Amino acid sequence: MSRMQKRSFGLGVVAISTALIGSPILDKDPLVWISIPQDAQIKSPVSLKTALTTHGLSLAQVPTSQILPLSHWMHETYHRCGGFFYESSLEEAREAIEHPVAKTSLSYAPQANVAISPLLAQVKEESIRTTIETLAQFQNRLYSSPHGVESQKWVMQKWQEIAAGRNDITVELVSHTGYIQPSVMLTIRGLGNPNDIVVLGGHGDSILSTSRDPEIRAPGADDNASGIATITEALKILVGNTIRFQKTIKLFSYAAEEVGLRGSQDIAKSFRKNNLNVKGVMQLDMTNYAGSPFDIVFMTDYVDTNLTTYLQALLKTHAPEIKWTTDTCGYACSDHASWTRYGYPSSMPFEARMNEDNPRIHTTRDTLDMSKGRAEHAVSFAKLALAYLMDLGGGEISLDQ
C-alpha cells in the first residue's frame, strides 16, 4: 500500500515492449516531481523544492534518493503509505490537479448469474496462503531492485501456467521509464463486447521504507503479497471452470506503487490517452490482516460511489455472510487513485479500518505471522473479486471444455 517504451492498442488489448527491463537509471540522483498534501510538505524533514501550491497540494521536486525517506516519514507521522503522487512533470501535474479528467458516469446493478455462488464456494485459504508465502520468500520486491524484477516475472509465469491452453488469455510484462521493475498484465479477451474493459489489480512491489539497499529484507506478506495472491486465486477458479467473458478482463500486478503509484499511473494514463473504455476498476491492496471486526472495509475517498455501492450489493446478493463497513484513507492511498485521476470509476475494498490495519507493513515483520500463519481473511476478498469479475464482466461457463 502506498501510504524505449512502445505501445500498440487494439480491442482493449495492450502490447508493451519489455526492452527497458534491467536498464539502469543513468542519473545517480535525479530530481523528480511529486504532488504532496500541503500540510505534509510544510513539515517534511526531506528537502522539497516547491514550485506551486494549489487545491491543498504542493507540487515539488525531490531527489530520487529521498523518496524512500519521505515515504517512511509519511508513514510514521501521518500513517500514510507513500502519501504522494509521482508526477511526470510540473505541467502535467498542474493540469491533472487544476483541470481533472471528466469522470465516467455509470450506473451499476447486479445481474442474475447463477454461476457466481458455486465459484465462491471454491475459494481455498490454503491456495491463497501458498502464493503469499512464495512471494514473501523473495528478499524484497522493491521497485529498484533485481528482486523486484524477478518477483514480477514469477507472477507473470504463475499466471501463464494457470492460463495455459486458453487462446483468449495473454500475459505480459509492462516496462516503465526510470526504474527496472515491470508491471504484469493479464488479458482475457471478451467475446461479445471486447472494447469494454473490467480491471482488477494490486501492486506487486514491497518496501522497507528505512532503506534503499537493493538487498534489504522486505517480505511484504500483507502489503501486498496478499492482494496478488487473492487475484491469483480468483484467476485460478475462473480458468478452472472454463469461464468466458463478454467484456475484456484485465488483471494487473502494478510496479512501484509504494513510491508514488508510478506503475498504475503510467498504465491508467495510457488507457486514457487511447480512449479505452474501462467500466470499472477494483484495487486489492492488503487483504489478509483482520484488524477490525469486519471482513471488508470499503474506502470512500478517491473512488466512484456508484461502483462501491454496486460491490456492496454484490456481497449482499452472493455472500451475505461477509461483514463490511466503510472508512476513508484521507489521501491517495493506493493504485485505485491513479485510475480515478484519469477519469475511470474505481473502488478500494480494504482489510481493516485505517487506524486498525496491519502495524507491521514496510518492516521486516510483515510476514504471515501477523495473520497467525493463515490466509483466512483474504478469502472474503477472493469471493468479492470473483463476483465482481463474473457480474460486471459478463462471465459464463463455456460449453467448450
- Catalytic (active-site) positions: 203, 223, 257-258, 285, 362
What is the pairing mode between strands 349-350 and 193-203? unpaired
Distances 251 to 120, 257, 328 between C-alpha atoms, Å: 18, 16, 25
Angle, nearest 10°, between helix axes 305-318 and 376-393?
110
DSSP letters along 247-278, please? Answer: EEEEEEEES-GGGTSHHHHHHHHHHHHTT-EE
Q: Grid coordinates in use for 251?
A: 488483471
215 in Cβ contact with 268 (< 8 Å) = no
Contact 166, 236 (CB under 8 A): no
- Tell me which amino acid residue 167 is: N
Q: Cell triple for residue 290?
A: 483482520
CA 325 – CA 356 distance, rounded (Å): 13
Handedness of CA 216, 16, 334, 245 (dihedral sign): negative
Closest CA to 148 of 63, 57, 262, 240: 262
**Euclidean distance between CA atoms 191 and 251, whole angstroms:** 17
213: Cβ–Cβ under 8 A, 6 or more apart, which residues? none
Grid coordinates of 328 = 476513508
* C-alpha count within 13 angstroms, C-beta hemisphere, residue 350: 28
Compute the 3-state secondary structure of the chain and give helix, strand, coil in percent, each to the nearest 5. 35, 20, 40
Q: Which three cell numbers stand for residue 392?
A: 460486471
Q: For residue 209, give Cα distances in angstroms to 1, 64, 75, 206.
A: 12, 13, 9, 9
Q: Is residue 181 within 8 Å of 149, Cβ to Cβ? A: yes
End-to-end CA distance of the chain: 38
Query: From the CA atom positions of the chain, what is the Rg in Å?
Result: 19
